[in-house]
Amino acid sequence: MKVGIPRGLLFYRFYALWKTFLEELGADIVISPPTNKLIIQRGLTYGVEEICFPVKVFLGHTHYLKEKVDLLFIPRMVSFCKGEYNCPKILGLPDVVRSLFQIPQGKIIDDEINMRDKGILGWRQGYINIGRHFTSNDKKILSALQKAEKAHQDYQKKLKEGFFPDNLIDHRPVLQPQKEKVLLLGHTYLINDSHINMGILQKIHTMGYSIITTDMVDERKIRSALQTIPKPSFWTISNEVMGSALYYIQERQPDLKGFIHLVSFECGPDSLVGELIERWLKRERRSIPYLRLEIDEHTGEAGLVTRLEAFVDMMKWRVEALESNLSSSRPS
């Protein structure tokens, strides 16, 4: 049976898990190609105007796959952390796909994976429900899940070591580490889709900075950093973004020169969480510059480059100003 996985949204996070799990169950996997102009065009044509850009891209990938496969794999990732949610758009994603493309009920694997109340039991139950599309043998499903979780751990370990999904999925060359670092905040589907972010990873790297992303920060450090604010948000990914930002605000690493926050224009969670990060940065460490880069289908590459270059200049000025004690800003 041919199963299609659209290359968008949570794909970059669960690539290893989903791939191993489905392959263990005997499915033939088709992954849509890296985002290109045509896919984006399709997504824009069929998508709802107000939905955020990554979802539109996801719709484009789904459109690419829908005639080529027997089953579309769009699990409803309600929550993958206890007590938290994902963004409503991810919660309703299978339904949106079904309505917009008129896909019949049975052609989408849209079983709910919900760890919000039940924790790991909800996770396991979700995958068992998915597995039942392929086999009625629960034991086989559980052993497949175990293997998949193992693969997921390895994948995450690689990400922690500083590899990007790009290197692991498409085997692109690894970026060499540099002396100075920049913290690149944002959702994994924005940072790792080099077409929609216009190769920001490469660009920052050629400007002479190596990149830290949320994926590279230890989960426990994120959680303990989150304790310092009155109430963490209820979106897992945004919490991770906020937690890594807070962690690096407290950590005061001297080689970390700036924060770049990559957001898509209509991202709901990031509109609030981004504000919080910005304000916290202003309160606690004014000496670190912060850049908020908004991306949507109208973003031009030239504009992005200009803003990045200006930001790099600013980071350098801050350093010079601090070194010569001519502080143009109030150092914390």
Summarize as ranges the residues that interact with another protein (CB under 8 A).
47-48, 50-52, 76, 78, 83-89, 91-92, 94-96, 98-100, 102, 110, 112, 230-231, 233-235, 263, 265-272, 274-276, 279, 282-283, 294
| Minimum separation from the CB atom of position 1 to another protein (A) | 23
Sign of CA dihedral 93, 94, 95, 100: positive
Q: What is the DSSP string of 92-133?
A: THHHHHHHHHT--GGGEE--EEE-TTTTHHHHHHHHHHHHTT
| Minimum separation from the CB atom of position 91 to another protein (A) | 5
| Minimum separation from the CB atom of position 236 to another protein (A) | 10
| Minimum separation from the CB atom of position 59 to another protein (A) | 9
Q: Which of residues 98 and 140 has its CB atom nearest to another protein in the complex? A: 98
| Minimum separation from the CB atom of position 275 to another protein (A) | 4
Q: Which of residues 83 and 177 has its CB atom nearest to another protein in the complex? A: 83
SS3 content of the chain, % helix, strand, coil (to 5): 50, 15, 35
Q: Which of residues 163 and 234 has its CB atom nearest to another protein in the complex? A: 234
- Phi, psi (degrees; rounded to nearest 5) at 259: -110, 130
Q: Which of residues 91 and 321 has its CB atom nearest to another protein in the complex? A: 91
Q: Which of 266, 238, 261 is nearest to 311 (CA)?
A: 261
Q: Which of residues 100 and 305 has its CB atom nearest to another protein in the complex? A: 100
